Amino acid sequence: MAKEKKYDCIVIGSGPGGAPFAWRLASKGMNVLVLEAGPRYNPYTDYPLNKNNWELEGFPHRRKLKHVFGKRQKLDEGKKELRSWNRASGRLNPSNERMYLAYHHVVGVGGSTLHFQGEAHRLHPSAFRMKSLFGVAEDWPIDYRELEPYYTEVERIVGVAGPEGVPSRPRSSPYPLPPHKLSFASQVIEKACKKLGLELIPNTVAILSRPYRDTPPCNYCNGCQWGCPRKDKGSVDVTFIPLAEKTGRCTIVTDAFAGRIEVEKKDGVKRARGVVYYDRDGKEHFVEGSYVACACGAVETPRLLINSGINENGLVGKNFMETVFYLVVAFHPKRLDSYRGIPIDSVIWKWNEPNPELGFKGGFRLYPTAGSAVGPVSYALRFHNGWGEKFVKEVERWFGHAIAIGGIGEFLPNEETFVTVKEDTKDEFGLPVALIQSTLGESEIRMLEFMSKRAKEILEASGAEEVVEEFSSYDFFSATHVFGTCRMGKDPETSVVGADLRSHEVRNLLITDASVFPSSGGGDAPSLTIEALSLRAADLLLKSLKKEG
Ligand SMILES: Cc1cc2nc3c(=O)[nH]c(=O)nc-3n(C[C@H](O)[C@H](O)[C@H](O)COP(=O)(O)OP(=O)(O)OC[C@H]3O[C@@H](n4cnc5c(N)ncnc54)[C@H](O)[C@@H]3O)c2cc1C
Ligand code: SF4
């Protein structure tokens, strides 16, 4: 096994959990190594939006990490209104069990922000106190006020555009960029909301509304999920990674899969010595670090810890939380050109603050969107059936008429929802892969029912005529936001890391990704909070090192 030079800190994973942490330490003089399992993408040449067949290509994944799924939840046939279907194919999950469609993630420098939609939300202050306010999930050991300066810093670095007065999120300074103008489709939904007494406001997004970061503003192509070819979207590869590399003290090794954190025990105290990783040729390396930070995301982080024998209190992988998601698409009689704009340019925040009187515990938000119907192929595959000229005419007739309302909400942790490893299923390095199991509780199901009714009311009020698709996380696991598998908390008996994100079990190990969330936030997009937590953890580590002299 090849042995390499010793670093002050090894950061595993270069997404929103890893990159800000690496940058801050390197900017304060530490020598940092980032191990990233995936490749580096070049936004100008690798993403398909400039090609004719962009819609069929999708994000150009070069590597995925193998995982398997656990038990499937039985579905209630009575809940027909929550089943996923579309006009072209009928019911999408014909079985009576919840299907595992995908754990969506990107393996590459920048992590899953490479295909995220650029939403940049601060959590609602009450989302930090779900246990004390509503008796569910767990309270965060920190509150909104402690994160506020970090939210502000991250917003400045990535370039967040937002309106004044996002409800209940006090700010110490305005957003660095003005909000984006509402798309034509959002303007139609805004009128519908007014009729229903709802307020629709511009979304806060890490998408440039003016030139910023030496980059021209967004061209409203709606293609963020394919990877932004103009660097307008504040994904980590174009924000924190260049800053980290500019310090001259941060080395990034790509195609470097961390297989094990080596831990030694001396005088009853456990310390991480370093990391064993595999390069693109499968060759094994060992690299030493004074500190190790794990930021592989809420599925791969618990897998790495369990495979490294780090799980004394048995909580690693527990409290997994996925995405409560609902989408309804309809055809509007007017051509709205709904494929133009940014993917989610406006939001209805009304239900984002948890209100148990609604019959469920946790907040959610609704938003207008094109529902990923941003090119003719989606229309042809999802909304129309047939063949030949008549079929093409139908697709042409309705192209640009699709309008959708989406909803994302709070998932509460439960015993049947977790990540662990599957000992008898190994990857190419002979390591057990992650096993993901998720089961919706009553609260999530009631929330989906409420969401779907409100979303359909809004579409109806907008004048949309025919519903052509519904997709819900009732009958599909299709998670984009995942959290909770290494919960942060004050008590080492009930959590994996402390408020400083340092492991209770191995004190020179930190976990700086979405795994540490004690609750999932009321449907807010998580990356801004992950980045803010990551910077705060780096500052706390630097402070403790200063104290130690
Ligand atoms: C389609 C989609 C849209 C989304 N839209 C939004 C949005 O608009 N706004 C928002 O805030 N969030 C959005 N998200 C969610 C957001 O992308 C994630 O919450 C966020 O990226 C998670 O950050 P992370 O650091 O925890 O993990 P990740 O971003 O997944 O980063 C983990 C990194 O670790 C690497 N890695 C994993 N295992 C290893 C290993 N063993 N060795 C070395 N490296 C490893 C991975 O390659 C990856 O680079 C979206 C997600 C999806 C899928
Ligand atoms: S909508 Fe804007 S941010 Fe998204 S891919 Fe297009 S140019 Fe980039």
pLDDT digits (tens, 9 = 90+) for 31-57: 999 999 999 999 999 999 989 999 999
Q: Is the pLDDT of residue 168 over 90?
A: no
Ligand 2 neighbour 208 (Cβ under 6 A): no
Q: pLDDT class for 165, splitting at 50, 70, 90? A: confident
Q: What is the 3-state secondary structure (H, E, C) of 232-273?
A: CECCHHHCHHHHHHHCCCEEEECCCEEEEEEEEEECCEEEEE
Q: What is the pLDDT of residues 341-380, one digit of tens each?
A: 999 999 999 999 999 999 999 999 999 999 999 999 999 9
Q: Is the pLDDT of residue 179 over 80?
A: yes
Q: Which of 248, 181, 272, 278 is nearest to 220 (CA)?
A: 181
Average pLDDT, the chain: 96
Which pLDDT value is given to residue 373? 94
DSSP letters, 520-544, are --SS---HHHHHHHHHHHHHHHHHH
Which pLDDT value is given to residue 4? 75
Q: What is the pLDDT of residues 411-461, one digit of tens each?
A: 999 999 999 999 999 999 999 999 999 999 999 999 999 999 999 999 999
Q: pLDDT class for 3, splitting at 50, 70, 90? A: low
207 Cα nearest atom in ligand 2: 3
Domains of the chain: 2-202+219-548 (3.50.50.60)
Q: Is the pLDDT of residue 82 over 90?
A: yes
Q: Is the pLDDT of residue 530 over 70?
A: yes
Q: Span 523-542, mean pLDDT? A: 98
**What's the rounded Cα separation, in Å, for the pair 518 and 130?**
9
528 Cα nearest atom in ligand 1: 11
343 Cα nearest atom in ligand 1: 8
Q: Span 287-292, mean pLDDT? A: 98
DSSP label at residue 59: S
Ligand 2 neighbour 166 (Cβ under 6 A): no
Q: Is the pLDDT of residue 470 over 90?
A: yes
Cα(46) to ligand 2 centroid in Å equals 15
Ligand 2 neighbour 219 (Cβ under 6 A): yes
Q: Whose CA is nearest to atom 21 of ligand 1?
A: 112
Question: β-strands 250-253, 32-35: how paired?
Answer: parallel
Q: pLDDT class for 110, splitting at 50, 70, 90? A: very high
Kindly report the pTM of this predicted structure: 0.98
Q: pLDDT class for 225, splitting at 50, 70, 90? A: very high
Cα(62) to ligand 2 centroid in Å equals 21
The residues, ordered by sequence, that sit 6+ positions from 215 with a Cβ below 8 Å of its Cβ are: 208, 230, 231, 232, 238
Phi, psi of 498 (to 5 degrees): -85, -175
Q: Is the pLDDT of residue 516 over 70?
A: yes
Question: β-strands 90-91, 466-472: how paired?
Answer: unpaired
Q: pLDDT class for 401, splitting at 50, 70, 90? A: very high
111 Cα nearest atom in ligand 1: 49
**What's the rounded Cα separation, in Å, for the pair 455 and 408?**
11
